[in-house]
């Protein structure tokens, strides 16, 4: 195994911790780790980053991809507007390794959406847009259908390029099925038993793991990889 790639939302990024489970995993296996993770990130962002990396041979059959899906209603939108708040362009979750809330994209920016995102938008037009989108245009059954479609296509691409992949089941992806895998290269690992109050910063939702939580998840992945992949 040459490299490990981790894709996901803030659960797999750096939120209130110095090191995340991907880093602990890399240290334990002595393998370089690359991240396609983002605070407030969406599955669409993950697909947008990972698919070209596979097609362009940045991720190969000699690597391992770890996919942590997040909730299906999250999205990305291109905007020609800017935020009046400089903090939107700085690192969040960690002062140097964290991700920005807005990313530059050609002549504009990528704006991240999740439920209630309108509450912290500083640009009034974007605030109004997110509020209207959530109240009128967001329908979860449709979002679940879209996820199932994209997930099926993504699995097909992983199979075509022979990419070893572990799909993590967290409480973020509570309303979709990701364990219906048919390729021996693709693995399903349910880690919801680690999302407990003693291992999370949020006692009710467990959106982010503590240092101990990241370490335990890394240990679990080490055992799984050594048993099932290496």
Q: Where are the domains of the chain?
A: 4-74+140-228
pLDDT at 205: 84
Calculate mean pLDDT across residues 30-52. Answer: 97
Name the architecture of domain 4-74+140-228: 3-Layer(aba) Sandwich (3.40)
pLDDT at 54 over 90: yes
Query: Tell me: the pLDDT tens digits for 101-150?
Result: 999 999 999 999 999 999 999 999 999 999 999 999 999 999 999 999 99
pLDDT at 179: 86
Crossing angle for the helix pair 140-160 and 43-55, to the nearest 10 degrees: 20
- pTM comes to 0.96
Query: Tell me: the pLDDT tens digits for 137-155?
Result: 999 999 999 999 999 999 9
Q: Where are the beta strands (DSSP E) in 19-128?
A: 33-37, 64-68, 75-79, 102-105, 108-113
Query: Which of the four pLDDT bands, split at 50, 70 and 90, describes residue 81?
Result: very high
Query: Which of the four pLDDT bands, split at 50, 70 and 90, describes residue 40?
Result: very high
How far is Cα 89 from Cα 99, in angstroms, rounded to an integer? 9
Calculate mean pLDDT across residues 58-74. Answer: 97
What is the 3-state composition of the chain as percent helix, strand, coil, each rounded to the nearest 5?
40, 20, 40
Tokens of residue 61, six digits? 């059959």
Tokens of residue 27, six digits? 């240290």
Calculate mean pLDDT across residues 82-89. Answer: 94
Query: Which of the four pLDDT bands, split at 50, 70 and 90, describes residue 3?
Result: very high
């Amino acid at each position: 195994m040459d490299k490990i790639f981790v894709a996901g939302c803030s659960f797999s990024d750096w939120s209130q911790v110095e090191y995340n489970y991907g880093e602990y995993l890399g240290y334990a296996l002595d393998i370089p780790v690359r991240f396609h993770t983002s605070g407030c990130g969406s599955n669409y962002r993950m697909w947008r980053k990972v698919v070209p990396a596979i097609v362009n041979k940045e991720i190969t059959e000699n690597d391992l991809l770890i996919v942590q899906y997040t909730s299906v209603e999250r999205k990305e939108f291109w905007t020609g507007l800017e935020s009046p708040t400089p903090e939107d362009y700085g690192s969040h979750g960690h002062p140097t390794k964290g991700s920005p809330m807005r990313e530059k994209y050609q002549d504009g920016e990528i704006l991240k959406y999740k439920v209630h995102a309108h509450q912290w938008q500083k640009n009034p037009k974007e605030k109004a847009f997110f509020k209207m989108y959530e109240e009128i245009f967001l329908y979860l059954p449709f979002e679940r259908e879209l996820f199932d479609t994209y997930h099926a296509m993504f699995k097909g691409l992983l199979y075509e390029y022979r990419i070893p992949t572990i799909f993590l089941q967290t409480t973020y992806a509570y309303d979709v099925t990701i364990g219906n895998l048919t390729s021996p290269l693709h693995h399903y690992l349910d880690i919801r038993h680690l999302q407990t109050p003693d291992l999370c910063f949020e006692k009710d939702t467990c959106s982010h793991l503590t240092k101990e939580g990241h370490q335990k998840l890394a240990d679990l992945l080490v055992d799984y990889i050594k048993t099932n992949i290496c």
